[in-house]
Amino acid sequence: MRNIKLTVEYDGTNYHGWQIQPNAITIQAAIQDALAKITKTHTQIIGAGRTDTGVHAAGQVANFHTRSQIPPIAFQKALNATLPRDITIIDVEEVSPDFHARFNAVSRTYRYTILNRAYPSALLRNNAYFFPKPIDVQGADAIYRFLVGKWDFSSFQRSGSERINPICEIYQCRCWQEQDLVYFEIEADAFLRGMVRAIVGTVLKLHDRKDGINRLRGVLDARDRSTAGASVPPHGLSLLCVKY
């Protein structure tokens, strides 16, 4: 059996997340259906991150095992010719038999995008969260960077998370602005379900407070979801890359 690694880009607007669900259109199902047409056999793929409904990806990673002798470049061309236009395979390579897209990952990086101006955008409506109130980007960055390190993120965990251990290590995070867009980027060894959107929502709640860092520490210590801010919408979130 060959082990094939895919790097996938997708617009998650029309999908109920990555993972296959009954009676729902998902990214995983779309790719598996395309592979079935190409290889003439059912092929299960494994994703590095189980993105939620409406979340996008610039560098999702997946792998699958196959007896097919189709070369990697031919797999890429065939998949891109078969998949919907909002899913693109940007790289294909053959890897060692024991490579596992999810369990071998050492970190994942997400980016949340906010359109911060007085009026919305027709072109960015599916990829950036429109937030008309002014954001103190410097204050938000200081609060956000406080999270670097190892913490119990129970206060930012959405119900239904499959990860039992709520402790994650944040390797780096930063907030910055480019014209009307404000970005929140974060890299960690693992993420709880809904964690990034809950963190960004909490930072937006605290960004202009002088005691914002202390309040964030209090939210972490509470280990109670009700103490954190409301989650921002999913369409501003994108999985940027996965490191191995």
Q: Is 52 a catalytic residue?
A: yes
Q: Which two tokens stand for residue 238?
A: 């994108």
Q: With DSSP H G I counted as helix, E B as strand and the rest as coil, what are the percentages for the chain, rounded to 5?
A: 30, 30, 40
- CA of 125: how far to CAs of 39, 55, 120, 122, 194, in Å? 37, 13, 7, 5, 21
Residue in 11, 52, 152, 224 annotated catalytic = 52
Residue 103: how many other CB atoms lie within 10 Å: 9
Judge whether 216 and 35 are in contact, CB under 8 Å. no
Q: What are phi and psi of 72, to 5 degrees?
A: -55, -45
Judge whether 111 and 240 are in contact, CB under 8 Å. yes
Amino acid letter, residue 118: A
Contacts of residue 218, Cβ cutoff 8 Å, sequence gap at least 6: 227
Report, as residue numbers or ranges, the catalytic residues: 52
